[in-house]
Amino acid sequence: MLDKEKIRRILSQREKQTIVVTDAPLAPAAVLVPIYERNDEYWILFTKRTQKVEHHKGQISFPGGAHDKVDRDLVNTALRETFEEIGVQPEHVELLGELDRIGTLTSNFLITPFVGIIPYPYEFTIATNELEELVEVPISALLDNNNYREESHVYEGRTYVASFFEYKGKVIWGATARILKQFLDLVFGEDNDYGKV
């Protein structure tokens, strides 16, 4: 069973880090890692971006975006963007904590990821100008090593390890995969039966 209090404890007790592999100035952004229960299993909800958006065209990502001056803080950014992109009301998100800040390589954002539980089933409303579709992946599939690989890449003279998750022909990579890997390692690293209720 997914232990919400354990996740809260893990995320609150560790010192947050900032992981960047570029010296470029980074603009603040935030995303939500939305988790829900479906068919006695826990799932994570991703979005697939359209080719019309400015950044990360066609990529699978978490709902979220750039910090706006109307936002009180980065939690507010993540919740506002989640509502705008997929229609989940902020009051329907049960926040569990925060992961490390991650810098993107091409769009120059510094992303603060927040982990939250959302209700399911839910009447999602997709912002079709930004999103092509919702991508739902069971945590058990993300924990299956057959669906995961790593590659070494060099960017601006620095070597880093890139993570790739694959599920039903869809590939999760880039900053989203780095955020996802950290979440899975922290929460499920010792007990891979955790994806089940």
Q: For the chain, where are the E strands, in sequence order? A: 18-19, 27-38, 41-49, 60-61, 64-66, 94-98, 101-103, 109-117, 131-138, 148-155, 158-167, 170-172
CATH code, 145: 3.90.79.10
Does residue 194 fall inside a structural domain? Answer: no
Instruction: Give the pLDDT of residue 1.
Output: 65
For the segment 151-165, the average pLDDT, to the nearest whole number, is 88
Does residue 133 fall inside a structural domain? Answer: yes
Which of left, alpha, beta for 108 (phi over 0: left; psi -120 to 50: alpha)?
left
State the alpha helices, DSSP H only, in the chain.
4-13, 74-86, 139-142, 174-188
For 79, 125, 194, the CA distances from 111, given in Å and listed in that order, are 14, 24, 26
Instruction: Give the pLDDT of residue 56.
Output: 61
The boundaries of the domain holding residue 89 are 4-188
Q: How many residues in total does the chain contain?
A: 197
Does residue 102 fall inside a structural domain? Answer: yes
CB atoms within 10 A of CB 117: 18
Does residue 196 fall inside a structural domain? Answer: no
Does residue 180 fall inside a structural domain? Answer: yes
Is 120:92 a contact under the CB 8 Å cutoff?
no
Q: 41-49 and 60-61 as β-strands: parallel, antiparallel, unpaired?
A: antiparallel
The string of pLDDT tens digits covering residues 51-96 is 887 776 789 999 999 999 999 999 999 999 999 999 999 999 999 9
